[in-house]
Structure 1
């Protein structure tokens, strides 16, 4: 006799599961993810490798692109009952109006948030492997996720109130315009109510701005939801009061919403070279590459007097014993994905900062040829050979200038090491002045 196994009764699926797994909500999340990833990928070289740059670029896309998309997605979902003609039928349900609202709105909000967090996470991963220093800023994408969820819920309210198919795209366009005006109208106090944080990579927001911004926009959203769907609509006054208090705090604080990043106020130095090499702590991991790029220049200056003590990548005024290091804070130009793009040019710019420390240029033939000889000895220009060829095919004056430069280079290179160090010491004693008479002759 065969024994038939008793089947356990299957647990019924949650009625909201289809909303989360199929339909419009996953498409909305995918649209947010793709849009943000494309906006990040187009300009990847300008942020990849810098944590602050990654933070700002992801935040920019989340606010100016993600929030309008979330508004449109929520609005389209909210208008579903009007399009299907099921509004009267759903109002006969035993569920309350707020429960019905959340059942329809939360799937879209959740998927929109998931799409944004996935894009932000991929951006952080793209910077992690080539980061130049500093550390991730996780509070910003988490705050943006809350704001995108609020935008989806607010859009759902508009979709229920405005039974028009064009309401969703028009709401997205209107949201983009309002965000743009608030974000870039720096003269008005209302600009501080914008979720787009206007800051530099060297700045961070004060610790209480994220919760204040969440209270401001979240309070408005919750007030709108309660005023539309709650049984007791007077409860909408509580979040409205909280939003008003947060708005007053943001507008009254004004420019004080950001402060200098403590990391950007610190320098990391390699003291084994002459001059020493110091970079901003935000680019600490670039220091070995920079030291290697300048190794030829610093090696030739070993034992030479009257040179600056250090190359400084500072953000404040330089001291008398410092000279500026070529810029590394414009990602996508000198630094791409954590690597120096052109070490040879970087070394030449550093050498030019040493030679041209004065506020004037020496145009007299002999001092100009001497400066060019020192530049050639320390770190030749990557375009030096090209311009030499142009001068060789030029007029008599160009050919004479080329001959003077070549002779000056040859005389400097022909010196023995000790004599050259003494001569360079005398030369750098005059490097900060414009008086050509003090320049030692070659």
Structure 2
């Protein structure tokens, strides 16, 4: 008689609720939404930041104005899920406590939204790396920004539990965006320092403790809200609330001391082989060969000419005595995009205008000075800029056409001078650079 052998039953595999929430449901879609929104905002303004580490850092921080309300709305939608599904009573019979149930639902959304932002940030840093021309990446703000995204998602879930209505999520996003925008205004007072999406200028870097205080501020508020809502002993919310209050007080009292000028931006990288010398900001030190090539026509034609500035400089503020200011490279997106000069001829033309130094005279200039300035600009940096103004005058009235004829005659006289005579004339001309008195300008 045969005997039937029964195989032992396998114990059922239990999937942890946190894992189930993280791999299925709404949380991955929330992360994807944050990734797409962040990447879209960054791509739309890529000309402004792709090519400068400081600009990339500032742009990644600036997109929090949209990302934080979006993360909060995602958490809010997740928080109202049980009411929409009518499963609140079923959840109430679970063996786990309310805090564990809350975290099982909230943490996956917080993790996925943070991952979406972090992935977009990593992509932006990789996109900047091939074009960066000077200073190194500055990740000081990224950890605090990532924590702010997670805190917004968790706090949004608390709101969703308290107000489990479908319009709550979009309304929370709209109110959050408006609140962050208003708190970013210059007239918002000392409370601006508490804004996790406060715009940061490219030339500033935070002091060492500022990101730590900002992290404690946003994380402490979110933790206090969670404990006050879901903890069995709600008074435990006082501990993170006290930490957030202390961090917030440090941020408010810090004021302008929370940031200091980037020391790299105060240094210059110079090429001393030309006259004038050419110096660019150390943040874009690797751009010096491009700038030198763009100005090669100017410096070559000025060889042997005296009374010139010692150097072109590229630093914040007015140029020092004996210096001329280079055309501005920043803000990015105009003359400087993705590590390169967009229009070297226009750049050289603007540099010559800085050499002439008559921008502060104001009012209509003497016709003799205007002709001399135009002839020098045409000699040193001919290009589309002057052609544009010539075309406008050629289509103008009789006075404009007559002025154009006089300017062209002056250009021809300067260009036809023997080299020694032209150098002597330019030496006398540059002795009047920055002088608004027309009497000293040599005639043409």
TM value normalised by structure 2: 0.92
Quick one: distance in 1 between partners of 2:50 and 2:340?
A: 11
Matched with 1:289 is: 290
Deviations 1:27-68 (A, max 9, x none): 000011111111112222122212222112221112x11111
Distance 1:386 1:116, change over 3 A: closer
- 2:94 match: secondary structure: coil
What's 2:132 paired with? 131
Q: Say if 2:192 and 2:198, in contact at 8 Å, map to a contact too.
A: no
Number of positions where the alignment pairs a residue of Structure 1 with one of Structure 2:
436
Q: Is the 8 A contact 1:215 1:243 kept in 2?
A: yes
Is the contact between residue 182 and residue 188 of structure 2 (CA under 8 Å) also seen in structure 1? no
Tell me which residue corresponds to 1:432: 434
Shift of 1:371: 2.2
Report what 1:423 is aligned to: 425
The aligned runs of 1:272-283 (5 Å cut-off) are 272-283=273-284
Superposed displacement of residue 316, structure 1: 2.8
CA distance in 1, matches of 2:357, 2:374: 10
1:205 maps to 2:206: yes
Distance 2:134 2:438 in 1: 43
| Matched residue, 2:341 | 340
| 1:435 CA displacement | 2.9
Match of 1:165 in 2: 166
Contact 2:61 2:199 in 1 (8 A): no
TM-fit CA distance, 1:82: 1.6
The Cα of 1:231 is off from its aligned counterpart by: 2.3
Alignment of 1:87-236 (within 5 A): 87-184=88-185, 186-236=187-237
1:176, distance to aligned residue in structure 2 (A): 1.7
Question: Is the contact made by 2:62 and 2:200 (CA closer than 8 Å) also made in structure 1?
Answer: no
Q: CA deviation at 1:393?
A: 5.8
Q: Choose 41-50 or 178-187, whichever is displaced more.
A: 178-187
Moved more, 404-413 or 332-341: 404-413
Deviation digits for residues 345-380 of structure 1 (CA, Å, limit 9, x no counterpart): 110111111123474378444343222211111112
1:303, 1:421 within 8 Å by CA — same for their partners in 2?
yes
Return the alpha-carbon distance in structure 1 between the equivalents of residues 399 and 113 of structure 2: 68
Deviation larger for 229-238 or 212-221: 229-238
Relative distance call for 1:117 and 1:244 in structure 2 (3 A) is same
Asked if the contact 1:78/1:159 (under 8 Å) is kept, the reply is yes
* CA deviation after TM superposition for structure 1 residue 177, in Å: 2.1
Q: 1:8 to 1:311 in 2, by over 3 A?
A: farther
Deviations 1:144-190 (A, max 9, x none): 11111111111112222223222222222222222222222534222
In the TM superposition, residue 78 of structure 1 has moved relative to its aligned partner by 1.5
1:153–1:400 Cα change, 3 Å: closer
Deviation at 1:386, TM superposition (A): 4.3
1:3 aligned partner? none
Which residue, 35, 38, 44 being the options, matches 1:36? 38
Cα RMSD (Å) of the superposition?
Answer: 2.3
What are the equivalent positions in structure 2 for 1:75-90 lying under 5 Å apart?
Answer: 75-90=76-91
Question: Aligned equivalents of 1:394 and 1:176: distance in 2?
Answer: 50
CA distance in 1, matches of 2:394, 2:183: 58
Summarize the Cα distance change of 1:235–1:385 in structure 2 as closer, same or farther, 3 Å threshold. Answer: closer
State the TM-score, normalizing by the size of structure 1: 0.92
In the alignment, structure 1 residue 405 sits paired with structure 2 residue 407:
yes
Q: Secondary structure at the match of 1:130?
A: coil
Structure-2 change in CA distance of 1:407 and 1:139 (3 Å): same
Moved more, 19-28 or 199-208: 199-208
Distance 2:14 2:342 in 1: 56
**Given that residues 147 and 218 in structure 2 are in contact (C-alpha distance below 8 angstroms), is that contact kept between their aligned partners in structure 1?**
no
Secondary structure of the equivalent of 2:315? coil
Contact 1:358–1:431 at 8 Å: present in 2 too?
Answer: no
Q: Distance in 1 between matches of 2:342 and 2:318?
A: 27
Displacement of 1:389: 4.7
Give the 3-state SS of the residue equivalent to 2:29 in structure 1: helix
- Please name the residue that 2:71 is paired with: 70
CA contact (8 A) 1:358 1:434 kept: no
Q: CA offset at residue 199 of structure 1?
A: 2.9
Which range is displaced more, 22-31 or 395-404? 395-404
Contact 1:358/1:433 (8 A) holds in 2 = no
How far 1:131 moved relative to its partner?
1.6
2:357 corresponding residue in structure 1: 356
Query: Which residue number in structure 1 is paired with residue 21 of structure 2?
Result: 19
CA distance change for structure 1 residues 163 and 302 in 2, over 3 Å: closer, same or farther? Answer: same
What secondary structure does 2:37 align onto?
helix
Report the 3-state secondary structure (helix = DSSP H, G, I; strand = E; otherwise coil) of the residue aligned with 2:187: coil
Q: CA deviation at 1:399?
A: 4.2
Q: 1:7 to 1:201 in 2, by over 3 A?
A: farther
**Which one is further off, 92-101 or 244-253?**
92-101
- 1:247 to 1:305, Cα distance in 2 relative to 1, 3 A: same
